[in-house]
Amino acid sequence: MSHHYRCTHQGCRQRVTLRHPLTWYLRPRRCPACRQELSGSLDHTVRERARRFVCSCDGYHFPHRRGSKWCVHSTVEITDHDYQQRYGDRSDHVSSA
């Protein structure tokens, strides 16, 4: 899980994404733009935006982004080539008479 922070230095306000929470790091993390130390302010707008697009339809067996390729709410046309890539070639499973 990525942790989104926003630089609190006046005039910078750049978004910074870290792999771990700030308390996990031994040395203080710095903003790549202004080189000031990051404080513990999480960027809640990024988290809310990601939560808004979560879908739990039957297209995938896990929570996923709404409108992705196999999602029920997708507008993408699924082709035979896509089915073959996902499920394999069906000619292997058909028994010849």
- Whether residues 2 and 20 fall in one domain: yes
Q: What is the pLDDT of residue 88?
A: 83
User: Do 1 and 48 sit in the same domain of this protein?
Assistant: yes
Q: Are residues 66 and 80 in the same domain?
A: yes
Q: Answer whether residue 96 shows pLDDT above 60.
A: no
Structural domain containing residue 77: 54-89
Which amino acid belongs to residue 43? D
pLDDT at position 4, please?
A: 86
Asked whether the whole model's pTM tops 0.85, one would answer: no
Q: Decide if pLDDT at 93 tops 70.
A: no
DSSP alpha helices (H): ranges in 1-97? 44-52, 80-87
Q: Are residues 39 and 69 in the same domain?
A: no
What domain count does the chain have? 2
Length of the chain: 97
Return the half-sphere exposure (C-beta side, CA atoms, 13 A cut-off) of residue 68: 14
